[in-house]
A and B are shown apart, each in its own frame.
Chain A
Amino acid sequence: MNKEKTILIVDDIEINRIILAEIFKDQYNVVEAENGLQALEIMNNNLNISAVLLDLVMPVLNGIEVLKRMNKNGRIKTIPVFLITAESNEETLLEGYNLGATDVITKPFMPHFLRHRIVNIIELYSHRNELETIVADQIKNLNKINQSIVETLATLIEFRDCESGEHVKRISGLTKMLMKQVSDMYPEYHLPQSEIDKIGTSSILHDVGKISIPDSILNKPGRLTNEEFATMKLHTVKGCEILQSIPNMMDKGIYDYSYDICRHHHERWDGRGYPDGLSGDDISIWAQVVSVADVYDALTSERVYKKAYDHSKAVDMINNGECGTFNPKLLEAFKAVEKEIIDKKWSNI
């Protein structure tokens, strides 16, 4: 019999615990608790509890409170809880069900039926938990593959752009940090961490379109002519065309963010950016965030046509509007994370 699994019996009366243990001891490891608090401690220390047989009326912490705390810590989703009680009060039993109890078994119970009901549910939960672990692992692997596809594309661009792979890493790091700050400071821009992570990954592809720009323009040491600049500006739309040709290589969320960032990371708050001349919040907040990160990184990095500025000079230039106008809220958020930027040496100086 499978004794890898453990059943937790929670009842303040020892006789009841012994009777239940007698029913399950041949099939499972049995641990006992004489009140709700002990039960929670056991669950915290033993992650392999396969089922909880829970009495309702107990001193210190009753069964309903145990269920409430299991809801709070999420355990109720993975561990089946059976209320084993002499309780016949409908309201209490209903509250138990509403709090996620799997089943209610009333005393005196019939051992054979009890055993079958509990064993079946344990197997069902075990199977479901295994499937969830497999799915979570597969998602993790997919995310890794996504990340490497994105990074491979970005590295290709950087080879052409005579930059190291550090640029995209800095942009991704800055984007995540700034996006998190904006999300925390302004409820209208709030996003869950999982989305912020996707935006960070997507930001790596902001310049993918540069692969279509001739070397003579991309790596020109001097100032670009108007005509050359017009060609350079096309990297935003060309990038979108490249992404459109490989939509299935990426997670849908990352594709959508990448497309938007690629097209709009040169738009400006006052409408004087390109390629679409969007203004204000018509530009997605993630594209705005990547704009600031990209400008900051460009200012603090040495390029073929300029030397690197130090952090404070770069910040002044951004705030003075020398690199175009940015969302004032975004600039406030940038100010709030300035120390972290310096600490993490995201400035290239």
Chain B
Amino acid sequence: MDLFEDLKVLGVNIDDGLRRLNGNATLYKRLLNAFVGTLEKYYIDLDFDENNCTEITEKAHAIKGIAGNLSITPLYKSYTQIVDLLRANKAEDARKILEISLPVQEEIVNCIKKHIQ
């Protein structure tokens, strides 16, 4: 299977993502690859310091935005929840969502790396 098929299995809405890029599959793949780098830059550790909520919220907010635009729906949904919970000062609840979300994130990252890098 190719990258897009594999990502579809993981819940990424490939058709929607391609539509956003005028059907430019090459560009989509390039951006997915760049997304891996961005995730490393904005990585949120599971034992994040809840006294540093502003920075964590900004990171989660950034991932939410990119995931949404690239139609990486599972991550978009989980990071939307994380941002909302952090803003509501519910750091522990946010941590629980992050705990569920990180393995999914890892699977998506590995899939992209396997096909592109």
Residues of A bordering B, CB below 8 Å? 12-16, 18-19, 22-23, 55, 57, 85-89, 107-111
Contacts A22-B21, A111-B19, A111-B20 known; A15 to B69 CB distance under 8 Å?
Answer: yes
Once the chains bind, are B27 and A15 in contact (CB under 8 Å)? Answer: no
Return chain B residues, CB-CB under 8 Å to A57: 58, 61-62
10 contacts between A and B (CB under 8 A): A12-B62, A16-B69, A18-B34, A19-B31, A57-B61, A86-B80, A87-B61, A107-B65, A108-B68, A109-B69
Q: B87 within 8 Å of A by Cβ?
A: yes
Contacts A16-B66, A109-B69 known; A86 to B20 CB distance under 8 Å?
Answer: no
Return chain A residues, CB-CB under 8 Å to B66: 13, 15-16
Once the chains bind, are A108 and B20 in contact (CB under 8 Å)? Answer: yes
Q: B117 within 8 Å of A by Cβ?
A: no
Interface SS majority for chain B: helix
Closest to B87 in A: A89
Q: B12 within 8 Å of A by Cβ?
A: no
Return chain A residues, CB-CB under 8 Å to B65: 13, 16, 55, 85-86, 107
Contacts A86-B61, A108-B76 known; A23 to B22 CB distance under 8 Å?
Answer: yes
CB distance from A92 to the nearest CB of B (A): 10
Contacts A22-B24, A108-B20 known; A15 to B68 CB distance under 8 Å?
Answer: no
A18 to B35, CA, bound (A): 12
Q: B64 within 8 Å of A by Cβ?
A: yes
A16 to B62, CA, bound (A): 10
Interface SS majority for chain A: loop
Q: Which 9 A-B pairs have the closest CB atoms?
A: A108-B68, A86-B65, A107-B68, A107-B65, A86-B64, A108-B69, A111-B20, A15-B66, A19-B69
A14 to B37, CA, bound (A): 11
Contacts A22-B21, A22-B27, A57-B58 known; A108 to B34 CB distance under 8 Å?
Answer: no
Give 1 or 0 for each of B70-93: 1 = CB within 8 Å of chain A CB.
110000100010011001000000
Closest to A108 in B: B68
Q: B110 within 8 Å of A by Cβ?
A: no
Closest to A111 in B: B20
Question: Which residues of B from 1 to 57 have beta carbons under 8 Å from A?
Answer: 16, 19-22, 24, 27, 31, 34-35, 38
Once the chains bind, are B38 and A13 in contact (CB under 8 Å)? Answer: yes
CB distance from A90 to the nearest CB of B (A): 11
Cβ-neighbour of B84 out of A22, A88, A110 (below 8 A): A88
Cβ-neighbour of B68 out of A12, A22, A86 (below 8 A): A86
Contacts A107-B65, A109-B69 known; A15 to B84 CB distance under 8 Å?
Answer: no
CB distance from B33 to the nearest CB of A (A): 10
Contacts A86-B61, A108-B69 known; A15 to B20 CB distance under 8 Å?
Answer: no
CB distance from A93 to the nearest CB of B (A): 13
Return chain B residues, CB-CB under 8 Å to A110: 20
A12 to B34, CA, bound (A): 14
Once the chains bind, are A111 and B22 in contact (CB under 8 Å)? Answer: yes
Once the chains bind, are B22 and A15 in contact (CB under 8 Å)? Answer: no
Return chain B residues, CB-CB under 8 Å to A23: 20, 22
Which of A22, A55, A110 has the largest number of chain B CB atoms within 10 A? A22
Contacts A22-B22, A86-B61 known; A107 to B69 CB distance under 8 Å?
Answer: yes
Return chain B residues, CB-CB under 8 Å to A18: 27, 31, 34
Once the chains bind, are A108 and B71 in contact (CB under 8 Å)? Answer: yes
A109 to B71, CA, bound (A): 10
